[in-house]
Amino acid sequence: MSKNYITFAEAINKATIQSMELEKNVFVFGIGVDKHGNIFGTTKDIKEKFGSDRIFDTPSSEQALTALAAGAANAGLRPILIHQRLDFMIYSFDQIINWISLWSFKSSKKSKMPLTIRAVVGKGWGQGPQHAKSLHTIFAHIPGIQVVMPSTPYEAKGLLLSSIFSNDPTIFIEGRSLFSMEEEVPKEPYFIELGKAKICKKGEDITLVSFGSAMPTALEAAKDLSALNLSVEVIDLRTIKPLDITTILQSVNKTRNLVVYEPGWKSFSISSEIIATVSENIGSELLNNPKRLCWPDSHIPMSTPLEKEFYPTKKELINEIKLTLKK
């Protein structure tokens, strides 16, 4: 495969364009998708390449847009519905939970729902409580929905292509703070398996599980701890639902220590699910109690100084790992 360096936002853009080249039934719609800014550049040049029949702007009516996406998917199309902020999806919970998630179940899997909903989490630069929520835990709780949270440009492209060509509905959550990240990505289409985590760094002393916008900090913390002769194995979940618990259990069975670093609220979280499952399966093998570092159970402040205090830092993560290991 030939490769080139592109940003996270460009990787989303390339995956979308290539999916539309591969399949004529793929189309894109949402508020502002073909307007100035092009959803932070992720829908750039698509209208020029494919025309207004396959990408189009819409009114501000999240319920109607989601119902349209569900109907199109049921009719054999592969819609990509885009929300500039994940918070806006709250208006469409009825359609997602009572329609889309149930479709395959109610038809005994005879009907498909090849629908992808992209949503951006606006962490940083004073987005505040109505533009920065990450509701991945809510969606992961609902049967019949896949939840994907990439952490790099390479993952963004491969996971989005896999989501678009999946026959199950997928919530594809993107951290706005990752959009400028750049790395080498193949030019050709490729697919990353949904429900399969990646071990980003091998280690022996402790397992660190993370995903999405928290991953860069997790990797930096693991690197800093290496200088202290602490060997951290880092797992990037990539997909929240399905959850690759097998990879987690294999790692923790080796290290016998666990910390989960999550870009979301602490109570009733993905980190809670992971720790509970590990404890149920191999809890007696652990050397120390597992820990988690998450957002505090509070709404996200808009003030820049308060926002900086809200999000957990690399220093806090390092301290959490050292406390777990009693170092």
Q: What is the pLDDT of residues 135-179, one digit of tens each?
A: 999 999 999 999 999 999 999 999 999 999 999 999 999 999 999
According to the model, what pLDDT value does residue 167 have? 97
According to the model, what pLDDT value does residue 120 have? 94
* Domains identified in the chain and CATH numbers: 3-186 (3.40.50.970), 198-324 (3.40.50.920)
**Contacts with 128 (C-beta within 8 Å, 6 or more apart), sequence order:** 300, 301, 302
> Measured between alpha carbons, how far is 177 from 214 in angstroms, rounded to an integer?
10
| Phi, psi angles (nearest 5°) of residue 80 | -120, 105
According to the model, what pLDDT value does residue 292 have? 97
Exposure string for 13-22, b = 16+ CB within 10 A, e = fewer: bbbbbbbbee
* Tokens standing for residue 318: 């390092």
Element (H, E) at 106: helix 103-106
* Tokens standing for residue 130: 């109505």
Does the model's pTM come out above 0.85?
Answer: yes
139, 66 Cβ separation under 8 angstroms: no
> Measured between alpha carbons, how far is 240 from 230 in angstroms, rounded to an integer?
27
**DSSP string covering 272-326:** HHHHHHHHHHHGGG-SS--EEEEE-SSPPPSSHHHHHHHS--HHHHHHHHHHHTT
- At 303, is the pLDDT very low, low, confident or very high (cuts 50, 70, 90)? confident
Task: Indicate the range of 120-129, 135-144, 271-280 predicted with least confidence.
Answer: 120-129
Question: Chain-centre distance of CA 193, in angstroms?
Answer: 14
> Measured between alpha carbons, how far is 120 from 160 in angstroms, rounded to an integer?
14
Closest CA to 124 of 67, 73, 75, 176: 176
* Tokens standing for residue 319: 């301290």
According to the model, what pLDDT value does residue 38 have? 92
User: Is the C-alpha dihedral spanning 248, 294, 311, 128 positive or negative?
Assistant: positive
- At 321, is the pLDDT very low, low, confident or very high (cuts 50, 70, 90)? very high
Active site residues: 131
Closest CA to 55 of 83, 81, 27, 25: 27
According to the model, what pLDDT value does residue 3 have? 64
> Measured between alpha carbons, how far is 135 from 319 in angstroms, rounded to an integer?
27
